Amino acid sequence: RKEVEQDPGPFNVPEGATVAFNCTYSNSASQSFFWYRQDCRKEPKLLMSVYSSGNEDGRFTAQLNRASQYISLLIRDSKLSDSATYLCVVRGGGNKLTFGTGTQLKVEL
Amino acid sequence: DVKVTQSSRYLVKRTGEKVFLECVQDMDHENMFWYRQDPGLGLRLIYFSYDVKMKEKGDIPEGYSVSREKKERFSLILESASTNQTSMYLCASLGLARDTQYFGPGTRLTVL
C-alpha cells in the first residue's frame, strides 16, 4: 500500500464548479499535512497546510480526519487558473515529507 | 522570498558519464532535499541533509550520492549515469519552522 494515495484524475470541471479531492495516508503517526499545487512543467508550491479543525483560504477548504486517515481539499467557484496538479503531502516524524502522486484538475470554459 | 536555484533547467548526458546537479538556497535553511519526479510515481526522495556534511538516504538512493560542504549548497551526483535516471530532479529546502518546503525550478535530465 502506498504511504499517500490520491485519485490521479484528471478531473475535468466547468468554470464555477465545486470540486473535491481526497487523499488517504497509511502512517497513523503522521504529524503534519499539506496540499501543494504544481503547474505544468513547474515546481510544486505550498497551497495550504491542513489543520485538525479544518481550515479555509478563500475558495479553498482543507479537512483532516485523523481517525480515517483521510485529507480532503475542496475548491469552490473553480477558475481556469486553478487548472494544475494538486499534491497531497504528509510529514511523519522528522523533516521528511511524503508526496502523493497528485490529482490533475482541468477547469474548462 | 525564499529562492532555491538549480544549476541547469535541461541537461543531456550519455550513459556512464558522471553528472553533477547543483542546488543553492538563500534562506539559511538547515534542511535540503533531492527528489526525482516521474509520471505515475510522483516525487520520490533520493537524499536529504539536515546540516553541513550531514546526509541521509531517502527512499531511492541507489545510483546517487550527495555532497553538502556549505549550508547553502546541496549537490546531487550520479556517479555513472544510466538511462533509467532520465527524470525531472527537484531540489528543496526547509527551515527550522518546518512548515514549507521550497522547491527549485527543477532540472530535466535526459540520459542517452
**Residues of A numbered 60-89 whose beta carbons fall under 8 angstroms of chain B's beta carbons: which are they?**
87
Give the count of beta carbons closer than 10 Å to the beta carbon of residue B26. 12
Closest chain A residue to the Cα of B96, Cα to Cα: A95
A49 touches chain B (CB under 8 A): yes
* pLDDT 10s digits, B63-77: 999 999 999 999 999
A20 touches chain B (CB under 8 A): no
Phi-psi region of B10 (alpha: psi -120 to 50; beta: other; left: phi over 0): beta
Cell of A36: 501543494
User: In chain B, which residues have their Cβ closer than 8 Å to the Cβ of A42?
Assistant: 105-106
Indicate the pLDDT class of residue A2, thresholds 50, 70 and 90: confident
What count of CB pairs under 8 Å joins A to B? Answer: 40
User: In chain B, which residues have their Cβ closer than 8 Å to the Cβ of A87?
Assistant: 42-43
| Candidates B42, B58, B101; nearest CB to A100 | B42
What mean pLDDT is predicted for residues B37-52?
Answer: 93
Per-residue confidence (pLDDT) for residue A44, from 0 to 100: 95
Q: How far apart are CA B35 and CA B47, in angstroms?
A: 7
Q: Which of B59, B60, B77 is nearest to B68 (CA)?
A: B77
CB A106 within 8 A of CB A84: no
In chain B, the N- to C-terminal Cα span, in Å, equals 37
Q: What is the DSSP string of chain A?
A: --SEEE----EEEETT--EEEEEEES-TT--EEEEEEE-TTS-EEEEEEE-TT-EEETTEEEEEETTTTEEEEEE-S--GGG-EEEEEEEE-STT-EEE---EEEEEE-
Indicate if the pLDDT at residue B96 is higher than 70. no
* pLDDT 10s digits, A9-68: 899 999 999 999 999 999 998 989 999 999 998 999 999 999 888 899 999 999 999 999
| Candidates B48, B90, B100; nearest CB to A96 | B48
B23 touches chain A (CB under 8 A): no
User: In chain B, which residues have their Cβ closer than 8 Å to the Cβ of A48?
Assistant: none
Alpha carbon B110 to chain centroid distance?
Answer: 15
Q: How far apart are CA A89 and CA B42, in angstroms?
A: 11
Indicate the pLDDT class of residue B34, thresholds 50, 70 and 90: very high
Closest chain A residue to the Cα of B33, Cα to Cα: A96
Contact B40 A101 (CB under 8 A): yes
For cell 556534511, name the residue: B53
